Structure 1
Amino acid sequence: MGTKLLALLDGTLADPALPIVRADDEGVTRGDGIFEALLVVDAQPRDLDAHLARFAVSADKLELPAPDEAGFRRATDALLEAWNWKADREAVLRFFWTRGPEGTSEPNAWAIIAPLDEALRRQRSAGVRVMLLDRGFEPVPVENQPWLLPGAKSLSYAVNMAAKRYARERGAEDVVFYSPSGRLLEGPTCSVVLDIDGVLHTPPFEAILRSITVQTLFQQAPAEGLDVQFSVLDRSDFERCRGAWLLSSTRVLTRITHVDGHPLPASLLDSTLKRMLGVPSR
């Protein structure tokens, strides 16, 4: 990934190579913090309000102080103004909010912008090969188990990154998790949608992250005459689907071309979904 810019919540820019996090910050030592990531195209952030709202929900689930929304907006404005949009018209904006140094009540916060990963840009047109991996738990309702942080976008992403490395070492580019019983869940950094007989199906938001891109899909589908449903899906559904996609805020929409090495058909709805979700062209 190329040049990055970093902003503090007062709207000032800082050198991203300089340390701004203490060594005993619990976001570093324990992964005790949250983040958000969104796509910016030609200086226009996508779904900024929705991401800030989900950011606040994540903070509440971790019992962190509410993020300084005005401060993150100031940081966003500073980064958008400083970014070279002629050189990189697509960028990823990330917000961070940690618990801060151990034994204090001083959260740490910053925002970073960086060019969109070229691999994600390429996958939008070429598609992506995925591997199915067992996530090790069933997606049971966890409303009464708040310590499991259902739906929080926390900094504890080590398992997700390990899964992606495991897949890449075996010829795939991404992962879709399933439960021990075979129920489909989500990807490490994305949601999954299947076309089954012309109806779009995606796993319910139970014990998985509430996807802003999937919510957009639900909102816009009726105007396109499309039927989108939350459905309990099994890994075997890949064998009967007409096509499938990975969705996320930064990649937007990427067609799955292979599952565990087996080719997957391209859905006839692919171009419609790209247009509907506003997948940027190269």
Structure 2
Amino acid sequence: MSFIEAIKRYQESGDTDAIKMIREAMNYDYLHSPTGLTFDKPEMYVAFRCLRLLRGRLATIKYTLSEHGLHSRRDSPEYIFGEFAAAIKGWTGIELTVENFQEHEKYLASYLPTFVDLRHAYERIIGARPTIWHMLTNEIIEENWPELEAALKYALERVDANRSEREIVRYINRATRTAYLRTQFEGMRRVRRDGQSRYVEPKYYGPIYAIFGSASIDIGRLSGRQRQLIHRISEIIKKDYEEGRIEAYAVDIKGGYRIINRHIAEKLGMHEASLSRAIGRISVKL
């Protein structure tokens, strides 16, 4: 069954073969693809884009481990096999290769006390045993699969399966990305600073932080009237937070909730400009 046929079956009956095909294609070693980014199955383009959605997490593996999932080239199965082959040639005269390994396997198993390491290297080279890279990649995929699967279902339900294969893949990739990122940024706020923007997770650091952008503020140096104003603002902030009225607050680059003077002024029965001036004078003192 083709990927396009599987999509139509999903839309008609909820059959999940299309999703299974994408998940299976995510096991392919795209890093060492002999055809680059040209694939013979459309689901591989979708799988590749799904992996790119996880690129931040996968990059953690890439930069802390080698492409084989270990710490250096010397830990790669090819290097380990080559070291064994060089030693075996010196000891026995046998020119061991991946191609003739099985021919000499029985003898080497009885000859080498560390044969199991040689065999594991051989199995990883031929793909019979997963590399640590592959195992960790799959672990990250599984951790994020519920969100990815939900995003794929969103896309598969909406794609026009009568379009061309290219158009179908393009739509699925775009819709999957949109749905997946929506779940990742759910509950987060977008903050713009210096012409750039980033998403941050809102955090409540207390009323003093919400007013001044720092929790380590000593209001003891303020006048009685100023302390009273800060106390009144703090009570409003605490009540808003307890009752979930967080939409009325901004968020700074650290994710901390910050007051919006207009909202606080309305609660206090003051003009926004008057409150802004009062807070400004207090900030200068602190």
TM-score of the pair, normalised by structure 2:
0.22
Higher strand share: 1
User: Whose relative contact order is higher, 1 or 2, with alpha carbons under 8 Å and at least 6 apart?
Assistant: 1
